[in-house]
Amino acid sequence: MSKKLILKTAEEIEEIRKSSLLVGKTLAEIAKLIRPGISTLELDKVAHDFIKDHGAFPGFLGYHGFPNSICASVNHAVVHGLPTSNALKEGDIVSVDIGVLWNGYWGDSAYTFGIGELKEEVEKLLEETKASLYKGIEQAVVGRRIGDIGFAVQSHAESFNYGVVRELVGHGVGKNLHEAPEVPNYGRRGQGIALTEGMVLAIEPMINLGTKNVRQLKDGWTIETHDGKPSAHFEHTIAVGKNKAEVLSSFKEIEAVLSAKN
Ligand code: MG
Ligand code: MG
């Protein structure tokens, strides 16, 4: 990625927050509907219409030719899965990744949903992948480096012997969905570029129950684990802060819906 690193003004960060919060609201709509029997193609339509109804654009649609509004990656699919008409089943997990483009600024966030009762090891994979995201976010403060984020994510995930995907990384977010810098989910403390105010990053651990190795399917999009074991993915768009990162996207509405369902 030879992309430019573009620092954002406070006003721009507010625009990115707006887009990012709409992603969270859209994911909460999906949370309401997700259950055994529904297809990811149905969820795609709901997300598409919900975003459009807010006067925003589901930015993944047509992005490098991507055919849908959400990425839906089921079980051993890691990311970039294409929505299908297959019914989700009890015990499945599905990472839903959404990008919103609104007033010229992107928001990018992803959440992995469990369908009904999950195997204990899969439930734990989801929990700890989300925890690894917050470990990474803790490091996104002025004075730290990109490697500190990756180190924090990796150490947390590997303490459970999970595989940390190397081929796909987080990224800067702004007027473009993918800007510099790359934000790997692995790394060494104190390495990489220094974090400064005005940096807006998508941090997105992709964590596998088994091997870290992945491959791309012939559909040209879906990335799946090499050993067929499940993979989880959580993503927030954040702004680097002086003492604390500011999380611009939100899981609050998603989790309110999920806890009301249980
Ligand atoms: Mg995303
Ligand atoms: Mg992203």
| 118 CA to centre of ligand 1 in angstroms | 24
pTM over 0.85: yes
Angle at CA of residue 246, ends 244 and 250, nearest 5°: 135
Gap from CA of 205 to ligand 2 centroid (Å): 10
Tell me the CA–centroid distance for residue 144 and ligand 1, in Å: 23
Name the percent of the chain lying above pLDDT 70: 99
For residue 60, report the distance from its CA to the centre of ligand 1, in Å: 9
Average pLDDT on 151-168 reads 98
pLDDT digits (tens, 9 = 90+) for 219-233: 999 999 999 999 999
Among the listed residues 141, 203, 144, the one whose alpha carbon sits nearest the alpha carbon of residue 168: 203
Q: What is the C-alpha to C-alpha distance for residues 137 and 152, in angstroms, rounded to an integer?
A: 9
Spacing, Cα 107 to ligand 2 middle (Å): 9
- The candidate with the shortest Cα–Cα distance to 186, out of 222, 162, 209, 220, is 162
**Domain regions of the chain by residue span:** 2-261
Task: Kindly give the distance from the C-alpha atom of residue 110 to the centroid of ligand 1, in angstroms, as a whole number.
Answer: 5
Query: DSSP H helical segments within 141-231, as ranges?
Result: 146-158
Judged by its nearest atom, the ligand closest to the C-alpha of residue 177 is 2
Residues 10-46 have pLDDT tens digits of 999 999 999 999 999 999 999 999 999 999 999 999 9
Q: How far is the CA of 105 from the centre of ligand 2 (A)?
A: 14
Q: How far, in Å, from the CA of 173 to the mean position of ligand 2? A: 8
Assigned fold of 2-261: Creatine Amidinohydrolase (3.90.230)
